Structure 1
């Protein structure tokens, strides 16, 4: 029961006792008590003594890799959550920020009329490919086990989208953009996503402001049951991030028992909760001696009310709005309402508990009774020194750190300049401008060292209790043992082994990453990879005939190869950039590896053998490494041996490694592309040299002891990007800013 209700019941109880022997009066008062008690225990929002709870701290994500909709299937229940390189996040407690680094003019091509804005209009676009200074958003079904759902597919639906402009999600391709989700077109709301998949696309927001997106996943279980996830809501701030202003009002109505206060808050983003601010309202009582929060109440429809007994000490009351999401919705405070039975006095109102540097401080003088012809004179005091701040009922100051800890008050002076009453000083609290939140740090788990069955092709493990240690061996792999891959996600890049670089291919096809020697694979580009660039596409450097491409977005039937610098051993030992150099290409045609911007234009030219292409690209490492996908285009069918050098600095020492990727393009026998290839592998060995089974996922990785310990982190950082429904030979955009 609340403080206010306790006071009310106490007064009613006294009236019952005062009723004496009058049974009618006792019965009437008892009915009132019952009514009050019914209100007290009703499951509705009621006033609670004291200040409102502090709003929960929200996570802010303004850059890097994030999956807005990560679909999970746990214990037969389908859910949609968020996932970033730092770990999972709760959509309801996270703000995503698309900064002005993503702003660009809308295209004039009729192919982009679905954006709904004239060409040249500034819009914000999350690009389909990684940019260091822009949020990189996608979705995935990687956590859904294969075989658990009918046809291994999930329908991902944009159930609702509210904001100041349109949201259009699309993939760039040689035939133009392919739409995936639309806030304005009900025919473009659902994407059928294969399991497992990790997809990225272009997300275009046509106006700055706050957007609310709601996603839902649905599928059919293997047993035939229909599964539908609860909707997941996401708050996305496009452009500069600041809390949207609100306005709080307070009214007072006299009652036989005292005073009824009613407060309403308006404003905030129209796109969030239907434009009705959510949170709490605090009711503040001002006396000559102190200010105190009498009670707070959860807002219902933007309003809250409080009934108080008659108060002979309070000069005034104010209401203060505390938002549930204070990084999106700003706090506000009502003008003071004078207590009808107020005693003589003066009080400073309108000053908040704390301010951020640069905010506006607005203080209002409340004087009871009103004194016509008198002057309100404001002053501040710090370390015993008083500064005159001017006259008038309202005082405005800009919050700066010099005002922190300063006392603020006013005097009321008569026409002769004599002080007739002074307000009690309030102490200002001004804080430096700091980020609202920081993402949670990733957590690590020690690797599983339990012996498991050896990988396919390995010798049976010897039963032993000795530790199984990864051991590097080099052997010659017959053509029949080289794997021909036609699907799935792979990344080429360095690992650090024994203080030196080694080239590895990260294989994400089984959900847990495995690192292998590039000589273990032949990447086969068949008919699904064949395309003919149309005239005027800007791809003249590829010639006029058909080309075979690995697109930017993963597609079924095409191996999806990128490169990255995110292996834990690299993050630990490499502080400089890494250079990826194309040494030579042995094959029947030319190779071009390039990106495209979100509107289909050719972006960065990474490396290639065609005229105008460089032979090397720089790949940053930084704190979390870089994961890049681009278009790999081969101009003629046949087998290609593509040799790279990886160069950089390991713990301050220059180091390099050389490796060859093999591709087979078009018809023919892909296995013939490699003959008698030396393969470097990791196998399990005990201290006495006997074979043993490495923990699952570590076989053939080429990991040293440090990397084994960091593999769990790598599994969270290096996320496979899965195919998106498209029949296009997608040549989608990567635009890197270095």
Structure 2
């Protein structure tokens, strides 16, 4: 594995270049199991990524911290960001996007592995995912619940400017960055910066077009316990009521076809149109019935007024 490299420059005016890491050269076996039971991951290699579970598209945590990698349910996993992750924000305008004053201390899950800190990235390397998706997936930050701000960014080499991927707007805030595209068979790590310690719930959606023409989407919430003093039990107990586009983010996986999830806006519109059609039909029947009755009354009156009793 690569040696620990700071994500934020330690010297004013300098930007650290991310170095290639052997940890990015991985492949994932199709038979890697889905582990059960609660676990806290504080160090080692961890990815998030799409995978099929019981033929259903899902977003899981790939745990490579052990000799035999496994997949894990995000609801049963807490990512511990210990005090070993603390770094100082440099006096460099290139990092102004963090929204934190120079000299302040923040918690950083680095892009290049620090052996004392959990190493979080993402992959699209599950064999069935690679066989079924059309070119790649889209990762979307739906929202963040926590005491501070989360920023996720990439730092390439050659003194290039940081590339901001996601930035929350604070507690229960809307994300400030757009979704980004991840090609098939990709394995990437980034910098995750938390401004203050505490429990953070980070809701992420992964969606894709399949080669079959079907659209799939899954939304899950990552649980972070930032800082040594933050309770893991609190992180497990926290409720993922993070608002996303159009309302609260769903906690379960979704499968859609034709672009309209079951129970979504399209379904509601169809239901409303059917209701309007039923009301119009009832009104038409009432009008026709009243018209026929009025016609019969008029005929009876004409017959009664005729001298010979005929109309």
Give the TM-score, by structure 2 length. Answer: 0.62
Pairwise CA distance, 1:523: 1.0
Pairwise CA distance, 1:583: 0.8
Contact preservation (8 Å) 1:482, 1:521: yes
Within 1, Cα distance between the matches of 2:29 and 2:49?
Answer: 24
User: Is 1:568 the equivalent of 2:143?
Assistant: no
User: Is 1:675 the equivalent of 2:237?
Assistant: yes
User: Is 1:538 the equivalent of 2:94?
Assistant: yes
Contact preservation (8 Å) 1:594, 1:604: yes
Pairwise CA distance, 1:607: 1.6
Q: 1:551 to 1:503 in 2, by over 3 A?
A: same
Pairwise CA distance, 1:615: 3.7
Q: 1:636 to 1:617 in 2, by over 3 A?
A: same
Within 2, Cα distance between the matches of 1:576 and 1:447?
Answer: 23
Residue in structure 2 matched with residue 657 of structure 1 by the alignment = 218
User: Is 1:584 the equivalent of 2:163?
Assistant: no
Contact preservation (8 Å) 2:149, 2:194: yes
Secondary structure of 1:572's counterpart equals: helix
Within 2, Cα distance between the matches of 1:602 and 1:641?
Answer: 28
Within 1, Cα distance between the matches of 2:82 and 2:158?
Answer: 27
Contact preservation (8 Å) 1:170, 1:178: no
Residue in structure 1 matched with residue 84 of structure 2 by the alignment = 528
Within 1, Cα distance between the matches of 2:118 and 2:4?
Answer: 21
**Match among 611, 614, 620 for residue 183 of structure 2:** 620
Residues 494-549 of structure 1 deviation map (CA, whole Å, 9 limit, x = unaligned): 01235431111111112332111112211111211111111115112221122111
User: Is 1:642 the equivalent of 2:205?
Assistant: no
Contact preservation (8 Å) 1:606, 1:613: no
Residue in structure 2 matched with residue 235 of structure 1 by the alignment = none
Unaligned stretches of 5+ residues in structure 2: 241-311
Contact preservation (8 Å) 1:170, 1:177: no
Q: 1:198 to 1:509 in 2, by over 3 A?
A: farther
Secondary structure of 2:157's counterpart equals: coil
More strand by share: 1
Residues 634-660 of structure 1 deviation map (CA, whole Å, 9 limit, x = unaligned): 112110010111111233200111100
Residues 70-95 of structure 1 deviation map (CA, whole Å, 9 limit, x = unaligned): xxxxxxxxxxxxxxxxxxxxxxxxxx
Within 1, Cα distance between the matches of 2:231 and 2:138?
Answer: 33
**Match among 172, 190, 214 for residue 630 of structure 1:** 190
Residue in structure 2 matched with residue 596 of structure 1 by the alignment = 155
Contact preservation (8 Å) 1:562, 1:627: yes
Contact preservation (8 Å) 2:197, 2:230: no
Secondary structure of 2:80's counterpart equals: strand
How many residue pairs match? The answer is 224
**Match among 72, 88, 109 for residue 516 of structure 1:** 72
Residues 558-595 of structure 1 deviation map (CA, whole Å, 9 limit, x = unaligned): 11110011110101111232111111101111111001
Secondary structure of 2:50's counterpart equals: strand
When Rg is computed on C-alpha atoms for both structures, the one with the higher figure is 1
- Trace 1:160-239 onto structure 2 (pairs within 5 A): 173=7, 174-175=9-10, 198=22
User: Is 1:500 the equivalent of 2:63?
Assistant: no
Residue in structure 2 matched with residue 255 of structure 1 by the alignment = none
Give the TM-score, by structure 1 length. Answer: 0.28
- Trace 1:350-361 onto structure 2 (pairs within 5 A): none
Contact preservation (8 Å) 1:592, 1:633: yes
Contact preservation (8 Å) 2:30, 2:128: no
Secondary structure of 1:588's counterpart equals: coil
Q: Is 568-577 or 637-646 further displaced after alignment?
A: 568-577
User: Is 1:491 the equivalent of 2:47?
Assistant: yes
Within 1, Cα distance between the matches of 2:137 and 2:29?
Answer: 28
Within 1, Cα distance between the matches of 2:43 and 2:53?
Answer: 28
Q: 1:447 to 1:659 in 2, by over 3 A?
A: closer
Residues 15-43 of structure 1 deviation map (CA, whole Å, 9 limit, x = unaligned): xxxxxxxxxxxxxxxxxxxxxxxxxxxxx
Q: 1:446 to 1:558 in 2, by over 3 A?
A: closer
Contact preservation (8 Å) 2:4, 2:112: no
Within 2, Cα distance between the matches of 1:171 and 1:549?
Answer: 11
Q: 1:535 to 1:446 in 2, by over 3 A?
A: closer
Residue in structure 2 matched with residue 287 of structure 1 by the alignment = none
Secondary structure of 1:538's counterpart equals: helix
Contact preservation (8 Å) 1:550, 1:631: yes
Residue in structure 2 matched with residue 18 of structure 1 by the alignment = none
RMSD: 3.7
Residue in structure 2 matched with residue 328 of structure 1 by the alignment = none
Residues 420-440 of structure 1 deviation map (CA, whole Å, 9 limit, x = unaligned): xxxxxxxxxxxxxxxxxxxxx
Contact preservation (8 Å) 2:52, 2:58: yes
- Trace 1:231-310 onto structure 2 (pairs within 5 A): none
Q: 1:199 to 1:499 in 2, by over 3 A?
A: closer
Pairwise CA distance, 1:670: 2.1
Within 2, Cα distance between the matches of 1:578 and 1:670?
Answer: 31
Within 1, Cα distance between the matches of 2:213 and 2:43?
Answer: 38
Q: 1:171 to 1:663 in 2, by over 3 A?
A: closer
Residues 291-325 of structure 1 deviation map (CA, whole Å, 9 limit, x = unaligned): xxxxxxxxxxxxxxxxxxxxxxxxxxxxxxxxxxx
Secondary structure of 1:672's counterpart equals: helix
Pairwise CA distance, 1:665: 1.2
Within 2, Cα distance between the matches of 1:506 and 1:617?
Answer: 20
Pairwise CA distance, 1:447: 6.8
Within 2, Cα distance between the matches of 1:505 and 1:566?
Answer: 12
